[in-house]
Amino acid sequence: MVRAANYGEVLHMEFYYVPGATPLDPDEAVGLVPIHITTQADLNAWEQVNIALGSRWAARQKKRDLLDEGFIRELHRQMFNKTWQWAGTFRCSNKNIGVDWTQVAVKLRNLLDNTKYHINHNVFEADEIAVQFHHQLVWIHAFPNGNGRHARLMADLLATRLGRPKLTWGGGEATITEVGVLRDQYLTALRAADQGHYKDLIVFARS
């Protein structure tokens, strides 16, 4: 079972980019590690530090197999372990986007196997492989939160492992997470990718 993609709602949930003084919703605070955080702005800042630590950890994993479930989960844990108690743990409920939660492990295994096949048989160019992987990982939506940021970092790692520069995503994470033209372009490209048309998403990822 696949949930209909509503990327606007998902990105709002995922990035918490609302006015900084907004108190945390009690449901959103479940599993929060730093108990002193009370506003969305504080959470944004804390998560950015955690993600930076995760990115530095990932940069050191030069001999690890990126296309391995263990790595997928560990990267998410490294990105969010100082923020969420469930970091690195697959979700146990359905969201407004993503496969049925009971199918997460199966769909992820299929994605990893298919991506390895694409690489080994040169089915697509490196950028398309990385961007398709990003899109499919977002579509699976393996974790309770942080899926977009995790999927973009995975795509960056995959692109560089395939000999390409790191993807730029319209100029960086801030341009995607903030409401505006660039975010709209990203969402539109994701919706086109849902229909199997990856050109716009590849262009955006390299813009």
Q: What is the pLDDT of residue 111?
A: 98
Q: What is the pLDDT of residue 200?
A: 97
Number of structural domains in the chain: 1
More confident residue, 92 or 40: 92
Whether the CB-CB separation of 12 and 96 falls below 8 Å is answered with no
In degrees, rounded to 5, the angle at the alpha carbon of residue 88 between the alpha carbons of residues 106 and 63 is: 85
Interval 146-174 mean pLDDT: 93
Q: What is the pLDDT of residue 5?
A: 61
Q: Give CA–CA dist 73/123, Å, rounded.
A: 26
Whether the CB-CB separation of 141 and 91 falls below 8 Å is answered with yes
Tell me, what CATH number does 201's domain have? 1.10.3290.10
Whether the CB-CB separation of 79 and 122 falls below 8 Å is answered with no
Q: Give CA–CA dist 160/113, Å, rounded.
A: 19
Residue-wise pLDDT for 42-71, tens only, equals 888 999 999 999 999 999 999 999 999 999
Q: Give CA–CA dist 75/155, Å, rounded.
A: 12
131 pLDDT more than 80 = yes
Which residues form the domain of 173? 2-205
Residue-wise pLDDT for 104-128, tens only, equals 999 999 999 999 999 999 999 999 9
Give the closest residue to 190 by CA, choosing from 176, 171, 175, 180.
Answer: 176
Beta bridge partners of 2: 99
Q: What beta strand segments (E) does the chain contain?
A: 2-3, 98-99
205 pLDDT more than 90 = yes
Element (H, E) at 49: helix 40-59
